[in-house]
Amino acid sequence: MSCLGERLTALVDGELGHDERDRAHAHLAVCARCRAEAATLRSLKGRLAGLGSAPEPGATTSPPTTSSPASAPSAVPPPT
């Protein structure tokens, strides 16, 4: 846990007010441990954002199938 506690997570998430954010940034300027933890949290947040949203319940994850040309109906009727 960092010196800033939950305020570090709030800083990374953009949830701190102006004064509190300034104090947190001033602390990060002098505390290597908190800077490293902030960098880890930012990286993790970026990786999680890259995962996208969860699929809807019951949704399939496979792409929709299309019929093959052999099974598609012919545009030209067979000879009589």
Whole-number pLDDT of residue 49: 82
Which range of residues forms the domain containing residue 23?
6-50
Q: Dump pLDDT digits (tens) for 3-54.
A: 888 999 999 999 999 999 999 999 999 999 999 999 999 999 888 888 876 6
* 60 within some domain: no
Residue 60 has pLDDT above 80, yes or no: no
- So what's the pLDDT on residue 58? 73
Residue 25 resides in a domain: yes
Report how far apart the first and last C-alpha atoms of the chain are (Å, whole number).
82
Q: 38 CB contacts (<8 Å, ≥6 apart)? A: 2, 8, 11, 12, 28
pLDDT of residue 37: 94
Confidence band for 2, pLDDT divided at 50, 70 and 90: confident
Report in angstroms the alpha-carbon separations of 5 from 8, 13, 54, 60, 75.
6, 14, 29, 41, 69
Please state, in angstroms and rounded to a whole number, the distance separating the CA atoms of residues 45 and 19: 23
Contact 2, 33 (CB under 8 A): yes
In the chain, the number of structural domains is: 1
Residue 14 included in any domain: yes
